[in-house]
Structure 1
Amino acid sequence: MPAPKKLDPNPKTPRMALGLALRRFREASGLTQEQLAERISYSHSQVSQVERGGRFPSLHFVEECSRVLGAKDELLTLYTALESESAPSWFRNWVEVERVAVSIRSWEPLVIPGLLQTEEYAMAAILGEPGITQAQANKAVEARMARQEVLHREAPVLLWAVLDECALIRPVGGQAVLRRQLTHLLGAIELPNISVQVSPLELGSTVGILGGFALALVPGARETAYLESADTGQVTDQPDTVRLTSIRYEALRADALSRRESRRYIEEMIQKWT
């Protein structure tokens, strides 16, 4: 078996720093990459790629490595830095809030919420940004997929998502990509921690027509709001802003189709795009 690739002792990126720390903890525990992979139920290639800094790991991967290697909080701290590196500066605070939230209420008027996107849909949406390179898009998609771990961890976040009908009829990435995205969405709402409601076009103007937003509840802290705009966003726990955002969300939810009706509508849209 070839010797492991020598790592840069002075990592230049958070991803390389995480990989170096992972290898150090693994070797200190006397485990090979194959042995670690077996104990955390991941493949040898995934462990190898993360150690080399060539792969963006999931939160679950890092948590399992921390558990097996007795790494306490060091790997998780490096993972948080890795998430932040992969997000725009104005979005980094929300990534951290999202990671520790127990519940999230979200509204999206144009696209499927990021936490419920497929990889190919996310790629198509991100590549729609003017001037973005494929490398930048790859990095952004990896970060978005990693964020979705909050839905599948041992104590998953409760997600209540209201989305406009426009998000279900806009063929981001083409008809086939949208069909697979809607099929994925249909599967997601089978999970007990995910609820999706559709706001129909027949409502006309709504209180959320100007942009998406989300509200996150974090234990021991005030509820935090994330407000989208055309090219940036705002993360705040300012009480007046959070209260107004919460009122807007409840107004949207009250006018939306019920969860059962929304499921039926998603099924109809899948047939339309088939």
Structure 2
Amino acid sequence: MPTRRVVTGRSREPRARFAEELRLLRTARGESLRQLGERLGWDWSLFGKMEKGETLGGPEVVQALDTYYGTPGLLLALWELAVSDKSQFLEGYRRYMALEADATSLWHFAVSVLPGLLQTEGYARELLVAGGLKGEELDQQVEARMGRRDLLEGDSAPPFRSVLSEAVLRTPLHDVAEWRTQLRHLVEMFERPDVTLHVLPFSAGPYGLDSTALMFLRLPDGRTVAYTENAHRGELIEESHSVDWLQRGYDQARDLALSPAESRKFVLRMLEEVPCDPSI
């Protein structure tokens, strides 16, 4: 399995950054656009337009490029940034994605919704609809989010730990069938060797991260950085004192949470509580 490619900050504008990465990956292999098109089964002119920034292409072709170049999820993440250029937190998110692509382990805390790495397509779609997306943009964002789950696939996948507040599991989807699918997917994720999940029950009482969705990235140089996010913006935190403060809050939440085995039983009990839809 190829090692993760480290993204650098060469271009600051998302569309230009995406196009530049495509050019660099192709030229590093010494391939022409025509050769690339023949090997992937797409018209080579599409890749030319993507490398010039004239079009972004669709998630299917971007995912095929990720697979071809051995950059699992990286190009999809850059594509997602180019498609949804949200200026209020774009710079920090670009930097975050660069670090995530090279992280050796990830620790997450979910305060209200499941992290994208654990979401099913139905869950992601309903969440994005609630955020105001629709039409083609909605479809693109759903596919991009599903593509990012490749980060946890393969022999080189980094260990991933997530502490899920009970509030996450007490906020079901409107579509009962999709909610059951999401809970079943969570149960399956407990079986993954590099995935560790905890449920933080309401009975644990107050804790220091009760309003903060949070991801920690352990980097190859030994540093840990944090990324906090809400519905409107995100913030990348690299200053060691602030990261340490958040780490203490995370450790407290993890210590109060159920063990992975008890957490799996918790999710199974919730699955049993979901009404069965006789039509499925």
Cα shift at 1:188 = 1.5
Correspondence for 2:267: 266
Give the residue type in structure 2 aligned to 1:254.
D
Distance of aligned partners of 1:269 and 1:102 in 2 relative to their CA distance in 1, 3 Å threshold: same
The Cα offsets for residues 6-34 of structure 1, whole Å up to 9 and x where unpaired, read as xxxxxx88479959x97x746337x73xx
Secondary structure, aligned partner of 1:171: coil
Cα shift at 1:234 = 0.4
Question: What is the TM-score normalised by the length of structure 1?
Answer: 0.76
Correspondence for 2:35: 28
Correspondence for 2:121: 119
Percent identity for Structure 1 against Structure 2 = 24
Correspondence for 1:82: 79
Is 1:211 aligned with 2:212? yes
For 2:217 and 2:96, locate their aligned partners in 1 and report how far apart those are by CA, in whole Å: 9
Correspondence for 1:3: none
Structure 1: any 5+ residue segments left out of the alignment? Answer: 1-11, 38-43, 68-72
Instruction: Find the partner of 2:130 among 128, 137, 152.
Output: 128
Cα shift at 1:206 = 2.3
Is 1:55 aligned with 2:55? no
Correspondence for 1:93: 95
The Cα offsets for residues 197-252 of structure 1, whole Å up to 9 and x where unpaired, read as 00011223322211211100111262110012341110121111110111111100
Correspondence for 1:252: 253
Question: Residue 206 of structure 1 contacts residue 252 of structure 1 at CA under 8 Å; is this kept in 2?
Answer: yes
Distance of aligned partners of 1:205 and 1:174 in 2 relative to their CA distance in 1, 3 Å threshold: farther
The Cα offsets for residues 161-218 of structure 1, whole Å up to 9 and x where unpaired, read as 0001111121124322111001111111211110100001122332221121110011
Question: Residue 200 of structure 2 contacts residue 258 of structure 2 at CA under 8 Å; is this kept in 1?
Answer: yes
Question: Residue 60 of structure 1 contacts residue 149 of structure 1 at CA under 8 Å; is this kept in 2?
Answer: no
Cα shift at 1:142 = 2.4
* Count of residue correspondences: 244
Distance of aligned partners of 1:16 and 1:103 in 2 relative to their CA distance in 1, 3 Å threshold: closer
Cα shift at 1:138 = 2.3
Secondary structure, aligned partner of 1:264: helix
Question: What is the TM-score normalised by the length of structure 2?
Answer: 0.74
Secondary structure, aligned partner of 1:127: helix
Give the residue type in structure 2 aligned to 1:84.
L
Distance of aligned partners of 1:60 and 1:127 in 2 relative to their CA distance in 1, 3 Å threshold: closer
Correspondence for 1:108: 110
Secondary structure, aligned partner of 1:198: strand
RMSD (Å) for aligned C-alpha atoms: 3.5
For 2:266 and 2:80, locate their aligned partners in 1 and report how far apart those are by CA, in whole Å: 34
Distance of aligned partners of 1:16 and 1:241 in 2 relative to their CA distance in 1, 3 Å threshold: closer
Distance of aligned partners of 1:198 and 1:49 in 2 relative to their CA distance in 1, 3 Å threshold: farther
For 2:74 and 2:207, locate their aligned partners in 1 and report how far apart those are by CA, in whole Å: 40
Correspondence for 1:171: 172
